[in-house]
Amino acid sequence: MSILVDKRILVVEDEAIVADMLECFLTELGAVVIGPAATVDSGLRLAKDANIDAAILDVNIRNEKVAPVAALLRQRNIPIVFATGYGESAEIDAAGATIIGKPYTKELVEAVLCSCFAR
Amino acid sequence: MDKKIEVGATPPVTSGEMRTDELAALYSLTDSLYRANTQVEILDAALNTITAVLGTRASILLFDDAGVMRFKAWRGLSDHYRTKLEGHSPWQPGFADPQPILVEDIASTDEPQWVKAAIKSEGICGLAFIPLVSRRKVIGKFMTYYPEPHQFQSSEIDLALTIARQLGFSLERLRADEELRESEERFRLMSEQAPVMIWMSDANGGCLHLNRMLRAFWGVENTELRDFDWQRTLHPDDSGAVERAVMGAITGRKGLSVEGRYRNSEGVYRMLRTTAHPRFSSSGEFLGMVGVNIDLTERYESEAALRESEERLRVALAAGRMGTWRYDLTTEQQSWDERQYELFGLPPSEPPSRDLFLSVVHPDDLSFVQFDLDDLPDGESFLDSEFRIIRPDGATRWIMAHALARSGADGKPVELIGVNFDITDQKENEEGLRLLLAELNHRVKNTLAVVQGLAFQTFKDGQATIEARKAFEGRLIALATAHNLLTQSNWENASLESLAMDVLDSQGVDKGRLAIHGPQVSLSSKAALALVLVLHELGTNALKYGALSNDSGGIDIRWHIDSARILRFMWREYGGPRVSPPKRIGFGSRLIEHAVERDLDANVMLDFASGGVVYTIEVPLHKLMDLPYEHTCR
């Protein structure tokens, strides 16, 4: 049984088609998707109160930085995975969080989430 | 010397009684000497007087240049006698204040016998030696000869001395005239031949003399000097200043140095510098000027050319906003120009030094500007660097420095000369471009992610096998890998080694099972995108069926460049399960065989050898590098 089963994963991704695919990946892995949020505002609302085990955040949401959402999650000690088209060399304040480049595979998502929970 | 009379230091006082014929002879002598122009004329006039008043036989002798007393003129002497006694003199040349020697009878002197004999045989008994003096020194003598013993009267002696004094004077005047003529001739010769222009003017500034060079300059003949007006050749712009200077020198009787342009005989203006001095007669009368003209035209022109070239350099450096500096490596002295100070925001009052320079350089960039003297090669070498400075006003600027190390006689570098300029704008543009490319890459990869999402949704629900979906996804991610590498180099190139490494890494291949060897090859974006798909398919096959499908196999990837600039690339699998050729040619195989073949004009061979797949590519290097063929061919 995967460690990811029933884990509640917040998804913030403004590209609907990518968000749908990630939702499918996570569902196939047995996790529960919170969101997906397509704006920073809705991401903030979820990050504040929702019951979340980990988050996969797109770095740029409709030309806004996702950083405030990440900050809230950090306060709650929720592990974060950044997904970005900039790739691993992206200039973001990852502060120890994992960064994955787009496009990514289900296997990669599974691997980074597993390592989040293994810590 | 009994009978020989030496007249004492005080010459005998002239008696008041002089005979009229003697006076007439002296008057005639004075008149003749005054008219005489040559030595012969002078001596002839003197002999006339001597023989008229003192005795019929006489001679005049003068020292020659060798100091030998020679007969110059005579009356009533045989050749034999003169030959015999020539050189016989009671005085040495230059002897001061000589006195007449009066011999009453040669027989009663203690002269050598041969002298007495020679004199006697000439029929001479008494004789007088009257010295000729110039500036108190003896220059010769005149002699009077008598057939009988001769008693010398004091009036006779006075007369002889008066004649001698007159004669001495005339000879002296003649010599002075000759010397003057000679000196003038020497001056004329020197002046004529001198390689400078020499002139002499009268007291009113009119031409008295122009040497050959100056006559040639103006195209005038010696005969035309009287009417020649040099002022008319002056350039109109210079005539005022030159004429004022010349008139000032003439009226003030003083030296002169003035420059001006004069039209020469070819109608061309030449810049002449005139240096002149006043001439005075011995009585102090102003005679005019003597001067030298030197042609400065070439010097003026080369100075003007130099000024022009310096000005051009100055403007060029200003246009390039370049600060220049020099660093003497032996004395450690530096010099900076004004712009160098401006560039660094430093006050020009601060003495330039290495420390002052380093105090402005950004601490993180110090290593870019520090160098070890010993590392400089012998001879000339270039030193270039880019670094940041923090100016005293707090502004951070990017500086580009280009310097040239110059060496001394021993080949060791002795100085650095360089320019600095501000490349902050360029750096900001580069940064802007880099950000733009990063943004572009971001969007491309977002698009790839959307394509992936579309494919995912399209092929879901049994529309395609999971395997097909995975293969598509893998290819998409391989493309994204190539994009990443290209973005890092501003889309200029990607290293073949990084490409192989990254694409296999993205497929989760264990690095321990890979060996990658080959020289650095920078791939163009086109070549990188083609090769990454091939490498991805090979990796996928190896993981599924080949050397990476078990726990023990591995892949050896190596390439080299041969002398014909052909890249030979080989992918060789080993230790995997026994290989058999696939029964069906899928898209993957077609990609492996055709993508590179068609896009890059490569020769490709895929060999399903039983020990492991061997895949080779042969491709001209220039096809991989987007460079003109000739460029890579060297």
- Per-residue pLDDT at B18: 66
Please count the other Cβ atoms lying within 10 Å of the Cβ belonging to residue B480: 24
- Please choose, from the candidates B489, B474, B500, B483, the residue with its C-alpha nearest in 3D space to the C-alpha of residue B569: B500
Q: Residues A80-107: what's their mean pLDDT?
A: 76
**Residues of chain A with C-beta less than 8 angstroms from the C-beta of B484:** 87-89, 101
B172 pLDDT more than 50: yes
User: Is residue B557 within 8 Å of residue B535, measured between CB atoms?
Assistant: no
Q: Residues B209-234: what's their mean pLDDT?
A: 91
Q: Residues B347-367: what's their mean pLDDT?
A: 91
Cβ-count burial of B401 within 10 angstroms (0-12 exposed, 13-18 middle, 19+ buried)? buried
Chain B neighbours among A 55-114 (CB < 8 Å)? 60, 84-89, 101-105, 107
Place of tokens 């180099």: B489
User: Is residue B612 within 8 Å of residue B547, measured between CB atoms?
Assistant: yes
B470, closest residue in chain A (CA to CA): A105
Which residues are CB-contacts of B280 (< 8 A; sequence separation ≥ 6)?
Answer: B253, B286, B287
- The rounded distance, in Å, linking the Cα atoms of A52 and A12 is 13
ipTM (interface pTM): 0.85
The pair phi, psi for residue B393, each rounded to 5°, is: -80, 5
Q: Residues B269-294: what's their mean pLDDT?
A: 92
Q: β-strands B286-295, B269-280: how paired?
A: antiparallel
Q: In the structure, what pLDDT confidence band is assigned to residue A91 with cuts at 50, 70 and 90?
A: low
Of B438, B457, B477, the CB nearest to A105: B477
Distance from CA of B418 to the nearest CA of A (A): 37
What are B473's two structure tokens?
């996804």
Q: What residues are paired with B558 via a beta bridge?
A: B517, B570
- The rounded distance, in Å, linking the Cα atoms of B575 and B580 is 14
B9 pLDDT more than 60: no
Per the CB < 8 Å rule, is A103 touching B438? no
Q: β-strands B566-574, B522-523: how paired?
A: unpaired
- The rounded distance, in Å, linking the Cα atoms of B19 and B369 is 113
Q: Residues B275-294: what's their mean pLDDT?
A: 92
Interface test with B, best of A14, A17, A60 (most B CBs within 10 A): A17
Interface residues on B facing A, Cβ-Cβ cutoff 8 A: 438, 441-446, 448-454, 456-457, 460, 470, 473-474, 476-477, 480, 484, 487-488, 508
- Please choose, from the candidates B239, B225, B216, the residue with its C-alpha nearest in 3D space to the C-alpha of residue B295: B216
Tell me the percentage of chain B whose pLDDT exceeds 70. Answer: 95
Which residues are CB-contacts of B42 (< 8 A; sequence separation ≥ 6)?
Answer: B33, B36, B167, B170, B171, B174
Of B453, B470, B480, the CB nearest to A20: B453
Per the CB < 8 Å rule, is B484 touching A17? no
Q: Apex CA B262: angle with CA B259 and CA B265, to 5°?
A: 150
- Per-residue pLDDT at B253: 92
Lowest mean pLDDT among A41-50, B240-249, B574-583: B574-583
Mean pLDDT of chain B: 87
B11 pLDDT more than 60: no
Q: What is the DSSP track for B33-83?
A: HHH--SHHHHHHHHHHHHHHHT-SEEEEEEE-TTS-EEEEEEES--HHHHH
B474, closest residue in chain A (CA to CA): A105
The predicted-structure confidence for B538-561, as pLDDT tens digits, reads as follows 998 899 889 999 988 999 999 999
B632 pLDDT more than 50: no
The predicted-structure confidence for B87-110, as pLDDT tens digits, reads as follows 888 899 888 989 999 999 998 888
Q: What residues are paired with A57 via a beta bridge?
A: A12, A82
- Per-residue pLDDT at B3: 46
Would the CA dihedral through B490, B492, B495, B496 be positive or negative? positive
Distance from CA of B466 to the nearest CA of A (A): 12
User: Is residue B579 within 8 Å of residue B613, measured between CB atoms?
Assistant: yes
B126 pLDDT more than 70: yes
- Per-residue pLDDT at B630: 39
User: Is residue B105 within 8 Å of residue B125, measured between CB atoms?
Assistant: yes
Q: Residues B402-406: what's their mean pLDDT?
A: 91
More confident residue, B506 or B342: B342
Exposure on the CB side of residue B588, measured as CA atoms within 13 A: 19
Tell me the percentage of chain B whose pLDDT exceeds 90. Answer: 43
Domains along chain B? 5-179 (3.30.450.40), 194-295 (3.30.450.20), 303-422 (3.30.450.20), 430-625 (3.30.565.10)
Which residues are CB-contacts of A51 (< 8 A; sequence separation ≥ 6)?
Answer: A8, A34
Question: If DSSP codes are grouped into helix, strand and coil, which group holds residue B519?
Answer: coil
Q: CB distance from A23 to chain B under 8 Å? A: no
The predicted-structure confidence for B575-604, as pLDDT tens digits, reads as follows 988 888 877 777 777 888 887 887 788 889
B628 pLDDT more than 80: no
B44 pLDDT more than 60: yes
The predicted-structure confidence for B386-396, as pLDDT tens digits, reads as follows 999 999 988 89
The predicted-structure confidence for B55-88, as pLDDT tens digits, reads as follows 889 999 999 989 999 999 999 999 999 998 888 8
At position B401, the amino acid (one-letter code) is A
Please count the other Cβ atoms lying within 10 Å of the Cβ belonging to residue B161: 19
Q: What is the DSSP track for B404-446?
A: EEEE-TTS-EEEEEEEEEE-HHHHHHHHHHHHHHHHHHHHHHH
B626: left (phi over 0), alpha (psi -120 to 50) or beta: left
Lowest mean pLDDT among B78-87, B293-302, B357-366, B596-605: B596-605
Q: Apex CA A95: angle with CA A94 and CA A97, to 5°?
A: 60
Question: If DSSP codes are grouped into helix, strand and coil, which group holds residue B381?
Answer: strand
- Please choose, from the candidates B482, B547, B560, the residue with its C-alpha nearest in 3D space to the C-alpha of residue B518: B560
Mean pLDDT of chain A: 86
B24 pLDDT more than 90: no
- The rounded distance, in Å, linking the Cα atoms of A9 and A5 is 11
Per the CB < 8 Å rule, is B448 touching A101? no
User: Is residue B499 within 8 Å of residue A99, measured between CB atoms?
Assistant: no
Q: In the structure, what pLDDT confidence band is assigned to residue A119 with cuts at 50, 70 and 90?
A: low
Containing B615, the helix (H) or strand (E) segment is strand B612-620
Distance from CA of B438 to the nearest CA of A (A): 7
Alpha helices in B459-562, H assignment, sequence order: 466-488, 496-506, 525-544
Q: In the structure, what pLDDT confidence band is assigned to residue B467 with cuts at 50, 70 and 90?
A: confident
Q: Residues B216-220: what's their mean pLDDT?
A: 93
Q: CB distance from A28 to chain B under 8 Å? A: no
A103, closest residue in chain B (CA to CA): B449
The predicted-structure confidence for B499-536, as pLDDT tens digits, reads as follows 899 889 888 888 899 999 999 888 888 888 888 889 99
- The rounded distance, in Å, linking the Cα atoms of A58 and A99 is 10
- The rounded distance, in Å, linking the Cα atoms of B335 and B315 is 19
How far CA B236 is from CA of B224, B233, B239, in Å, comes to 23, 9, 5
Angle between helices B39-53 and B20-35 (to 10 degrees): 180
Q: Residues B126-132: what's their mean pLDDT?
A: 94
Distance from CA of B339 to the nearest CA of A (A): 38
Q: In the structure, what pLDDT confidence band is assigned to residue B2 with cuts at 50, 70 and 90?
A: very low
Q: Residues A35-61: what's their mean pLDDT?
A: 91
Q: Residues B127-152: what's their mean pLDDT?
A: 92
Lowest mean pLDDT among A98-112, B364-378, B417-431: B364-378
Alpha helices in B209-254, H assignment, sequence order: 212-218, 236-252
- Per-residue pLDDT at B12: 45
Beta strands, E only, chain A: 8-12, 32-37, 54-58, 60-61, 64-65, 80-84, 98-101
- The rounded distance, in Å, linking the Cα atoms of B515 and B562 is 21
Per the CB < 8 Å rule, is B476 touching A15? no
**Residues of chain B with C-beta less than 8 angstroms from the C-beta of A24:** 456, 460
Distance from CA of A53 to the nearest CA of B (A): 25
Containing B323, the helix (H) or strand (E) segment is strand B323-328
What are B232's two structure tokens?
């008319």
Q: Residues A51-74: what's their mean pLDDT?
A: 89
- The rounded distance, in Å, linking the Cα atoms of B423 and B397 is 8
User: Is residue A10 within 8 Å of residue A38, measured between CB atoms?
Assistant: no
B50 pLDDT more than 80: yes
Q: In the structure, what pLDDT confidence band is assigned to residue B1 with cuts at 50, 70 and 90?
A: very low
Per the CB < 8 Å rule, is A105 touching B484? no
Is pTM beyond 0.80? Reply is no
Per the CB < 8 Å rule, is B442 touching A21? no
Per the CB < 8 Å rule, is A15 touching B453? yes
Distance from CA of B342 to the nearest CA of A (A): 35
**Residues of chain B with C-beta less than 8 angstroms from the C-beta of A17:** 450, 453-454, 457
